[in-house]
Amino acid sequence: MPNVTPAQISAKNLTYLSEALGQEALACKKCSQYSSMLLDPALQQLSASLAQRHKDRYNNLLQYLNSEN
């Protein structure tokens, strides 16, 4: 995959990336809420782990879009 800077991304792809950011934020929020509602410690841990993964993906996308390369 070639290195493409945010300045080179088409408007259509920026729309996709923006939607991906929203979806990752929503998934993180839901997993965090589920983690606090679950009673089984194993499921709480799983849900918290999934929330962290979504948060990491969100931050990676945001960092890429904010990069100046």
Domain segments of the chain: what residues? Answer: 12-66
> In this predicted model, what pLDDT tens digit does every residue of 17-57 receive, in sequence order?
999 999 999 999 999 999 999 999 999 999 999 999 999 99
In this predicted structure, what is the pLDDT of residue 7?
65
User: Both tokens of residue 48?
Assistant: 């918290």
In this predicted structure, what is the pLDDT of residue 1?
45
For residue 6, name the pLDDT band (cuts at 50, 70, 90): low
Spell out the long-range contacts of 60-66 with Cβ–Cβ below 8 A and sequence spacing 24 or more: 61/17, 61/20, 61/21, 61/24, 62/21, 64/6, 65/6, 65/14, 65/17, 65/21, 66/6
Phi and psi at 6, nearest 5°, equal -55, -30
**pTM score of the predicted model:** 0.82
